[in-house]
Structure 1
Amino acid sequence: MDSSDATPAASAPRDPAAPTALRDEADAVLRGLAGETARLREDQWRAVEALVAEHRRVLVVQRTGWGKSAVYFVATALLRARGAGPTVIVSPLLALMRNQIDSAARAGIRARTINSANIDDWDSIQAEVADGLVDVLLVSPERLNNPDFRDTVLPKLAATCGLLVVDEAHCVSDWGHDFRPDYRRLRTLLGDLPGGVPVLATTATANARVTADVAEQLGTGAENTDALVLRGSLDRESLTLGVLQLPDAAHRLAWLDAHLDELPGSGIIYTLTVAAAEEVTAYLRSRGHTVASYSGRTDDAERQAAEADLLANRVKALVATSALGMGFDKGDLGFVVHLGAPQSPIAYYQQIGRAGRAVERADVLLLPGREDEAIWRYFASLGFPPEDQVRRTLDVLASADRPLSTAALEPRVDLRRNRLELMLKVLDVDGAARRVRGGWTATGQPWRYDTERYARVAQARAHEQQAMRDYVATAGCRLEFLRRQLDDEQAVPCGRCDGCAGPRYDAAVDPGALDAARAALGRPGVEVEPRRMWPTGMTEAGVQLKGRIPADEQASTGRALGRLSDIGWGNRLRPVLAADAGDAPVTDDVFNAVVQVLASWGWERRPAGVVTMASRTHGLLIDSLGARLSEVGRLPFLGRIEYAPGAEPAPARSNSAQRLRALAGAFTVPPGLAAAVAAVDGPILLVDDRVDSGWTVTVAARLLRRAGAAEVLPLVLAVEA
């Protein structure tokens, strides 16, 4: 493809004979990056020329592996040679930052990064920037609204930078599949740039609507508000796509176990949840495969080690969540397998784009699961809150006599931490709230809840989910399907996928591998860590609980049959505990698995009695489980913790502080149960249906300990996380 295939906006007339000296200089820089035979393609050169010679604002929408990083590194070298300030690259990808620093060094470009993983180095890095010793500064979007960085560092960068690069620019748009509120701060940065500073935005996954939205935002503060848009074909000639629809999680794990070594080279196995990533990693390791887990729960040192192992082919695969979704640069990655379908075909295209960048063939396989849609619904529930909750937050901030942290807001606002933080970031960019040292404040500026826009975004998300269902079901070309979802007008059948050329892999599963997978997924038991501290700010919410929970009022480490996000017991328990499941006695298979959990618990003192929790939704289930455990274990059934008179139902999906506020006085230990608890010599087995926030068993254990229980051992069917 060359620049004639792009869709440029109106711009100043170009010199038909581009300066050959500048082109030669650009190619010389590229050779330092990519080797002695490298030469910029015409579309790459057009972007570099627009940035360096014309000081334009440019949006590049090109497939993964096209060479977007080469554009901004070459442009950086040319601009620096002409006396420009350092390039500032805003990127959400810590893994890619590490790759790019190494790549830049090969071309003599001095790159540094400021992100959450290197806080101790910030002062020295900022000093290097001030001294002109840094050519490229990579910044995570979260830094843009860190109060100190925003107020002290960012204005200096805006005044002195020679090129601003917005990597993964689809994150700017709330129409994009991976919208990140921190990116909205770029509007301010763009508006503060001096005239003539070029700007480059890059992405591999933007459909027409997102492209138009990003291009419009790129014009913020510019004299010429029209951005040059270079959009190319999204074909990936090395990728061979396929879908294997297998009956259940055991079949999917067994297939992967049996076929992992057949997949070319090394690769990535994506899962939809952290729990699944850890579960799959443990199973594949137990079967002799060299794999590593990579998720938001993985600490930075372990992430870096996992990245290095994959780059060096010391592991066959990383089993990863979307934490690795966009930012990993390994040209010879031979395969990407998804255990579970992402909720957007655009997000799916983004993730599979990691494979096959420098090899002739890479295999891409999707193994959808029946749990996928439940996970989609959960992520959909994390969207922008209703207007009444937003207004409540602004009122709380306005009435406070000091900035409030998110932890201090939680007792006053019924929103979970991640939704609360997302909302506050949006309000900050909209001008209604401001992040300052110590927390958040209200600005008092008028603010309008854009009901129609939020509804359209939600509708777009629902459309994407349906498109993903259609992708799984299509009998046509899979790559063409994905390219059309991205509005690629050049999309044609690829001739390689299972829709075009037939399946490359058989869906048959080895019986031995299947038996092993079933045994692993059927193995019950998850530890339930007790709460040790009360949430911050409970006294201001009218609940006189603060600080550390006294040791003689705590629960001990408990057990659950499984996690609802697991692909093993999670899939079996989810229908039992669903809101519309109804109430029924515990089934034999679930009960027998709970008995296995008890048998392998390894407690220091055997339980001396069983107590159950009252429940408005699963009382029969919980009581039947407690009664049967009492009978089988030959333990006295001591009774049930009841609801206190007038207790209201605790809000569903509320934050930790709000949940505790609702539960703090919601339960009571009847006199007969209190006497029975005080009379037994040994721990109490406390039985409930699930643990979500953990506050129900914490409050109940406190009541039992105060009634004289020597120890409380929570036992539940499922953990929500």
Structure 2
Amino acid sequence: MVTTANPDPAPAAPSAMRAEAERHLRALAGESARLREDQWSAVHALAAERRRALVVQRTGWGKSAVYFVATLLRRAQGAGPTVIISPLLALMRNQIAAAERAGIRARTINSANPEDWEQTYAAIGAGEVDVLLVSPERLNNPDFRDRVLPELAAGAGLVVVDEAHCVSDWGHDFRPDYRRIRTLLQELPAGIPVLATTATANERVTRDVAEQLEVGDGAETLVLRGALERESLHLAVVDLPDTPARLSWLAQHLAELPGSGIVYTLTVAAATETAAFLTERGYDARAYSGQTDPEDRRRAEDDLLANRTKVLVATSALGMGFDKPDLGFVIHLGAPQSPISYYQQVGRAGRGVRRAEVILLPGREDRQIWAYFAGLSFPAEDTVRRTLAALADAGGPMSLPRLEAQVDLSRSRLEQMLKVLDVDGAVRRVRGGWTATGAPWSYDDQRYKAVAAAREAEQRAMLDYIATDHCRMEFLRRQLDDPEAAPCGRCDNCTGHRWSAAVDAEYREAATEHLDRPGTPVAPRRQWPTGMAALGVDVSGRIRAEQQAAEGRALGRLTDIGWGTALRALLAPDAADSPVSDQVFAGVVGVLAGWQWEQRPVGVVALPSLTRPRMITDLAARLAQVGRLEPVGSLEYARPEGAGARRHNSAQRLASLWSAFTVPAPVAERLRHLDGPVLLVDDTTDTGWTLTVAARLLRESGAPAVLPLALASRS
């Protein structure tokens, strides 16, 4: 489809090429723009020497100018289009807009525009595309990888790997899909230059990426690394006692901050709650996360870029590549688990203004959230071996749902593991799922442990950043091994100027009221998992209506910044089994009061528990008393070990629960005489299958309807 370009003519003399490069830069960035020396070194290496280069430079330095200028020079030499591997749709949109301003014809292939793919392929074949941006995930799409990528790579004039720290599993934001780039580089024809760029790579990550760039080429990678100072950023930390204080402080001071900006949170729930509170306080605030509808994300980005909104409250989904030169502030409601990640996120601010405020509001719960994400590391060897064996025995491709029935990993972790194994050559993604290749594979336990240790060191460094009384910018630059790190003279520690930690009583009261609002929906399961027959459970397809639970409620999510704090303490593994506090009980009663059910419940049933039997039975009894509901009793475990160890995906969890419960005869008798729904009370819900299995038993025993009620939702 894409024809290989003719051999390039002899490159122009450096002086003539530089003049042409400067002309292209002015078209991109304005008449006063001039190439920095390292920019020119990179452009010359790519366009004249056709080398592989790694550029590690601060945000706003002009890394995109390097590859756009090099693209124009290479196209003038008769080379094919530049292929840019770019991680985020926001980054793609910004890059395409920048390219078009300079007359560069740019297209993108990503999950959001499948209707444009065939037209894009045709335009590439006709020579009408100068730059093609693709997501790293696209590199391992079977159709793209096998049908498009080989010809595209063979005809490319330049390959660019943006946010290249994602290539390295030592990097703070390693992404398995980026490992596919190593295979792409290995298969590139000789003479196609490659550029990798990042703003956040320490020496270890820089070495790792540089070595990976040499795969298939052999020549030493040119590394251009610069100072990481950001003269517009004014860093500060404000230590506040609790979540209501942090929300109050944010609402109280947001109007004082220049222009528009970003508030980063650690979880989706925190982003949603914070944006809702700021909106109640009169701000135009939007929540932004990976769960936000793509069209809503695009509108939110556009409104922030145009200063039509004061603030986006975002997870790390709004990160790499979002380019707003006049962004006036970045605030973190909770600390990221890496100073390097923190440096990257605050680098969104102050690119085109003289002063931008960067404020960290650390939370007491930050370390618990870090611990959760740490649990998503590469699985243990026996889990990996079981996966390979299951694929080898399948006799054909296995989909993720089918594989879940044999491997106890969540869907996301299973997919991440398969992507790593794919790059290692042990498995391959094909139409219909995944297959084992049969190639030998070894578990690199030493490397995985070292990566985990590096993550722990980053977390300790983040705590040190919060506590330091020395220059904060110097601290961050040293974490990135910047040899020119020095006191900035601008941060709160350098100047002695600190934001007040005082919180207005009216703001605190409003924040407390907002956070104390109880209740979050618990969606009922409607479909049985795929592949249950292989686990000895004979169910499939849709759950029959007469067996289903109704929509339930939980007091809060464990990740919430409101009720989540109290619930995490209440349900901690080492917490005592005791009745819930009056505050928590009042919250549960508030959930019931605000529940818009079709029919009011008439009875209460408790689930059994090996760890918190007193808490659950007491809660059910108190709810029966205060709500004048019949105390129906409790389900019982069918075996001493209860439901067994916690499972991590739907198929495995359902199999462990399927025969775990029984309905005692007295409970069944009471259920048959009820003329309305029963509340089904539990402490936590995660996958939802405990409530689903219990509801099925209760419905089959005569309950007209089942309304699940949990203290906490883990999702």
TM-score range, shorter chain: over 0.9
- Provide the rounded CA distance (Å) in 1 between the counterparts of 2:81 and 2:357: 39
Matching residue of 1:664: 658
Whether 1:157 and 2:120 are equivalent positions in the alignment is no
Q: Which amino acid aligns with 1:145?
A: N
- Provide the rounded CA distance (Å) in 1 between the counterparts of 2:151 and 2:296: 34
- Provide the rounded CA distance (Å) in 2 between the counterparts of 1:471 and 1:90: 33
- Provide the rounded CA distance (Å) in 2 between the counterparts of 1:321 and 1:293: 9
Whether 1:699 and 2:699 are equivalent positions in the alignment is no
What is the aligned-residue identity percentage?
Answer: 67
| Equivalent pair of 1:648/1:662 in contact (CA under 8 Å) | no
Number of matched residues?
705
Shift of 1:503: 3.3
- Provide the rounded CA distance (Å) in 1 between the counterparts of 2:127 and 2:215: 27
| Aligned residue runs from structure 1 range 575-614, under 5 A | 575-614=569-608
Matching residue of 1:182: 177
- Provide the rounded CA distance (Å) in 1 between the counterparts of 2:643 and 2:680: 20
Whether 1:571 and 2:583 are equivalent positions in the alignment is no
Matching residue of 1:112: 107
Whether 1:143 and 2:144 are equivalent positions in the alignment is no
| Equivalent pair of 2:236/2:359 in contact (CA under 8 Å) | yes
- Provide the rounded CA distance (Å) in 1 between the counterparts of 2:60 and 2:321: 12
| Aligned residue runs from structure 1 range 37-436, under 5 A | 37-224=32-219, 226-436=220-430
Q: CA RMSD, aligned part only?
A: 1.1
What SS class does the counterpart of residue 190 from structure 2 fall into?
A: coil
Shift of 1:428: 0.5
Q: Which runs of 4 or more aligned residues in structure 1 lie more than 6 Å from their structure 2 counterparts after TM superposition? A: none
- Provide the rounded CA distance (Å) in 2 between the counterparts of 1:85 and 1:38: 27
**What CA deviation, in whole Å up to 9, does each residue of 1:676-704 have, x standing for no partner?**
01111110011110110000001000001
- Provide the rounded CA distance (Å) in 2 between the counterparts of 1:582 and 1:267: 43
| Equivalent pair of 1:582/1:617 in contact (CA under 8 Å) | no
User: Which stretch shows the higher mean deviation, 304-313 or 576-585?
Assistant: 576-585
| Equivalent pair of 1:397/1:404 in contact (CA under 8 Å) | yes
| Equivalent pair of 2:684/2:711 in contact (CA under 8 Å) | yes
| Equivalent pair of 2:610/2:642 in contact (CA under 8 Å) | no
Matching residue of 1:562: 556
- Provide the rounded CA distance (Å) in 2 between the counterparts of 1:620 and 1:504: 48
What SS class does the counterpart of residue 643 from structure 2 fall into?
A: coil
Shift of 1:648: 4.7
- Provide the rounded CA distance (Å) in 1 between the counterparts of 2:106 and 2:559: 40
Provide structure 2 residue ranges, at least 5 long, that are not aligned to the other structure.
1-10
**What CA deviation, in whole Å up to 9, does each residue of 1:5-62 have, x standing for no partner?**
xxxxxxxxxx9x9722111111111111111111111111111011111111100000
Q: 1:18 to 1:471 in 2, by over 3 A?
A: farther
What SS class does the counterpart of residue 108 from structure 2 fall into?
A: strand
Matching residue of 1:476: 470
Shift of 1:604: 2.4
| Equivalent pair of 1:341/1:367 in contact (CA under 8 Å) | yes
**What CA deviation, in whole Å up to 9, does each residue of 1:123-160 have, x standing for no partner?**
11111111111000001000011111111111011110
Matching residue of 2:633: 639
- Provide the rounded CA distance (Å) in 2 between the counterparts of 1:357 and 1:262: 20
- Provide the rounded CA distance (Å) in 2 between the counterparts of 1:621 and 1:156: 63
Provide structure 1 residue ranges, at least 5 long, that are not aligned to the other structure.
1-14
- Provide the rounded CA distance (Å) in 2 between the counterparts of 1:696 and 1:172: 39
What SS class does the counterpart of residue 202 from structure 1 fall into?
A: strand
- Provide the rounded CA distance (Å) in 2 between the counterparts of 1:557 and 1:52: 61
Correspondence for 2:672 among 670, 678, 690: 678
| Equivalent pair of 2:556/2:563 in contact (CA under 8 Å) | yes
- Provide the rounded CA distance (Å) in 2 between the counterparts of 1:288 and 1:347: 31
Matching residue of 2:3: none
- Provide the rounded CA distance (Å) in 2 between the counterparts of 1:167 and 1:336: 23
Matching residue of 1:6: none
Shift of 1:102: 0.7
| Equivalent pair of 1:408/1:536 in contact (CA under 8 Å) | yes
What SS class does the counterpart of residue 182 from structure 2 fall into?
A: helix
- Provide the rounded CA distance (Å) in 1 between the counterparts of 2:706 and 2:34: 69
User: Which stretch shows the higher mean deviation, 227-236 or 633-642?
Assistant: 633-642
What SS class does the counterpart of residue 651 from structure 2 fall into?
A: helix
Q: Which amino acid aligns with 1:533?
A: Q
**What CA deviation, in whole Å up to 9, does each residue of 1:663-687 have, x standing for no partner?**
1111111111011011111100111
| Equivalent pair of 1:337/1:364 in contact (CA under 8 Å) | yes
| Aligned residue runs from structure 1 range 521-560, under 5 A | 521-560=515-554
Shift of 1:227: 0.3
- Provide the rounded CA distance (Å) in 2 between the counterparts of 1:308 and 1:70: 22
| Equivalent pair of 1:344/1:465 in contact (CA under 8 Å) | yes
| Equivalent pair of 1:647/1:665 in contact (CA under 8 Å) | no
What SS class does the counterpart of residue 543 from structure 1 fall into?
A: coil
| Equivalent pair of 1:295/1:320 in contact (CA under 8 Å) | yes
Whether 1:26 and 2:21 are equivalent positions in the alignment is yes
Q: Which amino acid aligns with 1:603?
A: W
| Equivalent pair of 2:227/2:482 in contact (CA under 8 Å) | yes
What SS class does the counterpart of residue 323 from structure 1 fall into?
A: coil
Shift of 1:636: 1.3
| Equivalent pair of 1:651/1:659 in contact (CA under 8 Å) | no
- Provide the rounded CA distance (Å) in 2 between the counterparts of 1:470 and 1:90: 35
Whether 1:467 and 2:461 are equivalent positions in the alignment is yes
What SS class does the counterpart of residue 65 from structure 2 fall into?
A: helix
Q: Which amino acid aligns with 2:113?
A: N
- Provide the rounded CA distance (Å) in 2 between the counterparts of 1:644 and 1:651: 15
Matching residue of 1:5: none
- Provide the rounded CA distance (Å) in 2 between the counterparts of 1:650 and 1:58: 53
- Provide the rounded CA distance (Å) in 2 between the counterparts of 1:710 and 1:250: 41
- Provide the rounded CA distance (Å) in 2 between the counterparts of 1:347 and 1:679: 59
Correspondence for 1:713 among 689, 707, 714: 707
What SS class does the counterpart of residue 637 from structure 1 fall into?
A: strand
Shift of 1:327: 2.4
Superposition TM-score, scaled by structure 1 size: 0.97
| Equivalent pair of 1:91/1:140 in contact (CA under 8 Å) | yes
Shift of 1:582: 2.5
**What CA deviation, in whole Å up to 9, does each residue of 1:505-553 have, x standing for no partner?**
2111111000000010011111111111111111222111111111111
Shift of 1:653: 4.9
Shift of 1:504: 4.2
Matching residue of 2:5: none
Shift of 1:646: 5.1
Superposition TM-score, scaled by structure 2 size: 0.97
- Provide the rounded CA distance (Å) in 2 between the counterparts of 1:325 and 1:367: 19
What SS class does the counterpart of residue 496 from structure 1 fall into?
A: coil
- Provide the rounded CA distance (Å) in 2 between the counterparts of 1:69 and 1:171: 17
- Provide the rounded CA distance (Å) in 1 between the counterparts of 2:87 and 2:597: 44
Shift of 1:647: 5.2
